[in-house]
Amino acid sequence: MTVIASGGSDFSEGSSGSQHVVELVEVGPRDGFQSIEAFIPTDVKIDIVKRLHDSGLRRIEITSFVSERALPQMADASALVAAARELPDLDAQILVPNARYAQRALSTGAVHFSCFISASERHNAANIKRARHESIEDYRDILSLVPSDGPVRFNVSTAFDCPFDGTVPEGDVYWLLDRALSLRSDVEVALCDTTGRADPVQVRKLFRAAASRYPDVRRWAFHGHDTYGLGAANALAAFDAGVRVFDAAVAGTGGCPFAPGATGNVATEDLVWMFDRMGVWNGVDNGRLVPLADRVAQLEGAQVGGRVRTAMVARARLCA
């Protein structure tokens, strides 16, 4: 695969002859499944991860190590790590809240950690019952467990908007990144639109400013939600600003805890569609992914979204 470059913004020149490459990070098995109440049998989860891999996805956030009492859906994390190790070239990303759970994940063979702290103090408190400065300590402890040149994803939750306080000032994002990146700068940083209320102007502006402020960041990533219909538009804005790594969830699984009944994560198959049409290489075959998305959408209790699945399944029915 071509090296994924961050920075640069020659998008407006059009796609013909372009060498643009993006990496899609599938977060459905973690971010999507965690909001499904009914326990999804482990073998079903593993089969879905295998089929995601079959469709061409090479980075999948397969699970999280967290309190089983708080999140029983993730109780089979070890089994997922073991299964993921069997899949060739799969970069299995594991979400961990602190060193205790990171230690547990390491003991099962996990390598690539995804860490998170909210830019918004109130959201961090509500989400993990920690002050931001305490979460920085937790993050430092996780970093101490992994090789200093190994892969680390650092997620800035509520980087654009907080469900409690509305638009998040850029200064709150910088407060957090100043501290997190002083611990280690060459990590991948994702700016996350947790509520789906970011807009394309804000996305472009923050990524451009942050990329200029923190030049040593290894890669910038965008984690977007489609709750207000801007999943693809915000991803486009991030792409314009030079971002080349995008989180997405198959079938748009995930929901939105702040708007029950609304959709959450942008659907992977929708971003694949957009980048395919734009001539941007992403490595995923929607011919394989969409039937899987249709199956995931039928999981009991799944709150799903996306448009491409519906459109392509409808067309398939029309042409059958």
What are the catalytic residues? 256
Cβ-based neighbours of 174, under 8 Å, separated by 6 or more: 210, 213
* Residues linked to residue 249 through DSSP beta bridges, in sequence order: 267
**Residues 172, 247, 270, 294: which binds a copy of itself (CB under 8 A)?**
270
Cβ atoms of 307 and 290 closer than 8 Å? no
- Residue 273 as a binder of a copy of itself (CB under 8 A): the answer is yes
- Degrees (nearest 5) of the Cα angle 273, 279, 283? 65
Give the integer Cα–Cα distance in Å for 251 and 40. 16
> Do 43 and 82 contact (CB within 8 A), yes or no?
no
240 binds a copy of itself (CB under 8 A): yes
Provide DSSP, 3-68. --------GGG-STT---B-EEEE-IIIIIGGG--SPPPHHHHHHHHHHHHHTT--EEEEEE---T
Strand partners, 222: 191, 246
Query: Counting contacts by CB under 8 A, is residue 32 touching a copy of itself?
Result: no
Tell me which of 77, 115, 230, 304 binds a copy of itself, using CB under 8 A. Answer: 230
> Which of 110, 192, 267, 302 touches a copy of itself (CB under 8 A)?
267
Choice between 9 and 78, CB closer to a copy of itself: 9
Minimum distance from residue 258 beta carbon to a copy of itself (Å): 7
Indicate the residue among 97 and 231 with the shorter CB distance to a copy of itself. Answer: 231
Q: Which is nearer to a copy of itself, 93 or 286 (CB)?
A: 286
Q: How many residues bind a copy of itself (CB under 8 A)?
A: 51
CA distance 62 to 54: 14
- Site for a copy of itself contains 233 (CB under 8 A): yes
Provide the residue type at 111 as one letter.
Answer: V
Amino acid at 150: G
69 touches a copy of itself by CB under 8 A: no
Over the window 296 to 315, marking each residue x when it contacts a copy of itself by CB under 8 A and - when it does not, the resulting string is ---------xxxx-xxxxxx
**Number of residues that make up the chain:** 320
Give me 15's structure tokens. Answer: 């796609």
- Given 132, 204, 219, 244, the residue binding a copy of itself (CB under 8 A): 204
d(CA 22, CA 11): 13
Residue with tokens 């011919």: 287
Residue (71 or 259) nearer to a copy of itself, CB:
259
83 near a copy of itself, rule: CB under 8 A? no
Contact 278, 233 (CB under 8 A): no
In the complex, what is the shortest distance from the CB of residue 146 to a copy of itself, in angstroms, rounded to a whole number?
36
Candidate ranges 25-33, 92-100, 138-146, 225-233; the one touching a copy of itself (CB under 8 A): 225-233
**Where does this chain touch a copy of itself (CB under 8 A) — which range of 72-80, 117-125, 146-154, 193-201?**
193-201
Question: Can you give the binding site for a copy of itself, defined by CB under 8 A?
Answer: 11-12, 14-15, 196-202, 204-205, 226-233, 235-237, 240, 256, 258-263, 267, 270, 273-274, 277-279, 305-308, 310-315, 317-318
